[in-house]
Structure 1
């Protein structure tokens, strides 16, 4: 006999942001985790779950979950200055002691915070693979299974991006001892991908891609060998730091993005993370290839990376999304706000990303980030039939949202609200956040604390 069909869950929202724009009195139905009905202009019916202001859930396209455990611990200056590279040394010291149980607990904490801020899916750029001595675990995908378990227990959607890392610098330089837990050869990485496939079994909307870490960490030959191993999204760190650009030029005579487009078939499957330091010609290459720029404004500010040329990229029709990267602060609206504010400071103007007169900056940021992240994470987006039933409800009684309507709701959330503006979050039609709180918040925080205390005493 055929299995019983999944129940249909119904919602009703007086205000909902649909792909075609704001709509009133929208009745939404989900079944089996997907939206099966989105009908504006109809009244609520008995049994409908009420959503005051409904938005499609936003994707977080770039996360290193374990770094949530070291957030705030690197804000000490040095006599010779501080930079990404000195931050990285501190990060290596932290991960040198991280065991699988602690990895899972930290990831759970990060994922709960993401859901409470309005992120409903995460792209986990996962490079901590091996044991403390650098040897593979008996189960090569042990750490990936911990990430999958954290996503499953929190309820967040997962696009798992296991990272290939083989070298310390351009030209195939040997890795240094601090990188021993990250390192693979191509055959070992192929085995890891098989283990990741098993780790995601049972998570019906999980996506598996992969990530060559950076051009520092992978040779051209290795990149060519890796690409046929998986048909999912491909993410890569690129041109994040000026030192990285200078080193690439010294090695190859080309800048990182230039080299990548000369040697790899970059297309809409790719997400170029950061791409901070690019030329006008490279910007046009990214736009033409339909790749997504993965921007992480909070982390890029925290690390002093620099500013991506966002206004020029936007005017050219570039695709982008945002990510929480180092997870030093997890806040979906803050990522969007800082993306715009960084450009305002640089260009000394206001509303510099909205494309024309009378257009809302908040809505433009939200919709374009929504679509770019979905592409980069291998899923569909928006409140439309066939998309995941991932919904974010804003609280109309929040002080920043009172008496707002339409685009003013998004402008006020992004630019004027802080904690509490997100009232509820639903993933695959299941409520995961109620009155701003994840139901497992206290239990997850207790496991996080128990994992972190011994780590920080080392």
Structure 2
């Protein structure tokens, strides 16, 4: 979005009737953005001429784990009656879809996914990006061609981007050779270093983009490769881990240790790290994750869709664990639903209500603020409506039936637990309205292109 680049140079005033600040709810809040950040945040002040006047606003939430291209296959793997249907059979179908994606179709799908994220209240995405090569496995002339398409999709939609290029070299623990379906994903360490250089160039037009790295999983990277990757970039480090019981069993057979146990024993895990899923962990493992100040990346909609299982969230939360949420496979993109399902999964397991927030606290407020802070840490940024932080906010629609006559934390409780479509009225980044009246300002154009691309792709994969 060309306007986004111009907005980074201009000062913009936004006045909100009420806003959720780091210290709590405040009235008559004036926020001034400059250069992509909040320059000033004042409370109890009138609007100034030229200010955009909003109602109830909250910070924009980070989506810490996305595979954007999978939005194009959402809903196409829900056929019953297959014995043993699991994550692993789903993965084979995903590889079949992936085999038909070219750069243009990949970008079109990513753009649609990103505008849906913005419409849902996500203002930054951590793109766990592993589709690097052409369909035959050969590198593009520019090794970062597909990463540049991620950056272009972020620019077209206006969403903040933390790019997490994935290192993938093996099909299983112990350095097993990759299978043919994985040929578009594969790198050696030297090739990955060249990819990172290309990624830095691709991100240059995005002034607030962050570059991290993502060793895909302990299945896909050897210990020596993991050690060689970490010095290549100083940003966030994300890794899939302990998502499936089969993965845990295979790791034990290979090393004698469970995946999280092995990682903590052999890698310098710290606050830069995000352990994605970590579904199947022991109490000692999650306690050690907390001690390292790492973030656990939870993706409740995808984890439910794939039948992964439930992370032991209540005990982790009580002990002060850091977490954020992500849309992962993008089968359904909905920030509130991720938080709702996170709580509801624990309620079903523990057979209680309001099981994560401390006694007397709002469940919605607790889920939102904890996920806000955890995602920001994992994505290498700050979050919140305060001076010096990224100029991002979400306006809730207080005329929505689920939000009428609410006040304070009840807005968050009602958005997360009682609303469906339409509870997000507008979304702003860098002084620019990306969503108005619940719709992205470029939705018509981006959705039309997406429809053309997916119709062609599904014809090819039929």
Length-normalised TM-score, structure 1: 0.98
Q: What displacement does 1:79 show?
A: 3.5
1:293 aligns to 2:303 (yes or no): no
Equivalent residue, structure 1, for 2:318:
315
How far apart, CA to CA, are the structure 2 residues paired with 1:320 and 1:79? Answer: 34
Alpha-carbon distance in structure 2 between the residues aligned to 1:140 and 1:76: 37
- Identify the residue that residue 449 of structure 2 maps to in structure 1: 447
User: Which residue, out of 267, 272, 288, partners 2:270?
Assistant: 267
For 1:194 and 1:177, how far apart are their aligned partners in 2? Answer: 27
Provide the rounded CA distance (Å) in 1 between the counterparts of 2:330 and 2:214.
19
* Runs of 5+ consecutive residues of structure 2 not aligned to the other structure: 1-6
Which residue of the other structure, out of 72, 76, 80, is the alignment partner of 2:83?
80
Please report how far the alpha carbon of residue 44 of structure 1 lies from its aligned counterpart in structure 2 after TM superposition: 2.0
**Distance of aligned partners of 1:5 and 1:408 in 2 relative to their CA distance in 1, 3 Å threshold:** closer
* 1:410 paired to 2:412: yes
Map of 2:250 onto structure 1: 247
1:3-82 equivalences in 2 (<5 Å): 6-82=9-85
Cα deviation per residue 1:350-400 (whole Å; 9 max; x = unaligned)? Answer: 0000112x2000000000000000000000100000001101000111101
Aligned partners of 2:11 and 2:431 also within 8 Å:
no
Q: Which residue, out of 75, 84, 90, partners 2:93?
A: 90
CA RMSD of aligned residues (A): 1.2
Equivalent residues of 2:169, 2:220 under 8 A apart: yes
Distance in 2, matches of 1:90 and 1:175, equals 17
Q: Note the C-alpha offset of 1:45.
A: 2.4
- Structure 1 CA distance for aligned equivalents of residues 94 and 397 of structure 2: 37
Distance 2:234 2:45 in 1: 41
Listed one character per residue, the Cα deviations across residues 168-196 of structure 1 (whole Å, up to 9, x for unaligned) are: 00000000010000000000000000000
429, 432, 454: which is aligned to 1:430? 432
Aligned residue in 1 for 2:391 = 389
> Distance in 2 between the 1:355 and 1:277 partners?
24
1:186 to 2:204 alignment? no
Matched, 1:128 2:131: yes
- Given the superposition, is the C-alpha separation of residues 86 and 354 from structure 1 closer, same or farther in structure 2, using an over 3 Å criterion? same
Deviation at 1:24, TM superposition (A): 1.1
Residue 5 to residue 73, structure 1, CA distance change in 2 (3 Å): closer
Deviation at 1:343, TM superposition (A): 0.4
Pair 5,149 (structure 1): closer, same or farther in 2 beyond 3 Å:
closer
Match of 1:177 in 2: 180
Deviations 1:238-265 (A, max 9, x none): 0000000000001100000000011100
Give the Cα separation in 1 of the matches to 2:430 and 2:244.
38
Shift of the 306–48 alpha-carbon distance from structure 1 to 2, 3 Å rule, reads same
Could you tell which deviates more after superposition, 21-30 or 249-258? Answer: 21-30
Match of 1:165 in 2: 168
- Look up the SS of the partner of 1:251 in the other structure: helix
2:137 counterpart SS class: coil
Question: After the TM superposition, which residues 187-266 of structure 1 pair with which residues of structure 2 at under 5 Å, given as runs?
Answer: 187-266=190-269
Aligned twin of 1:380: 382
Count of matched residue positions in the alignment of Structure 1 and Structure 2: 455
CA deviations on 1:9-64 (whole Å, 9 max, x unpaired) are 11111110000111111111111111011111112222221110011100000000
Distance in structure 1 (CA, Å) of the matches to 2:323 and 2:400: 29
Query: How far apart are the structure 2 equivalents of 1:360 and 1:42?
Result: 27
Q: Deviations over 1:74-119 (max 9, x none)?
A: 0012442310000000000000111000000000000000000000
1:135-154 deviation digits (Å, cap 9, x = unpaired): 10111001001110000000
Aligned positions of 1:110-121 closer than 5 A: 110-121=113-124
Whole-angstrom distance in 2 between the partners of 1:97 and 1:202: 28
The alignment partner of 2:399 has SS state of: coil
SS of corresponding position for 1:158: strand
Structure 1 residue 72 displacement after superposition: 0.2
1: distance between equivalents of 2:388 and 2:115?
Answer: 25
Partner of 1:399: 401
Q: CA deviation at 1:5?
A: 9.7
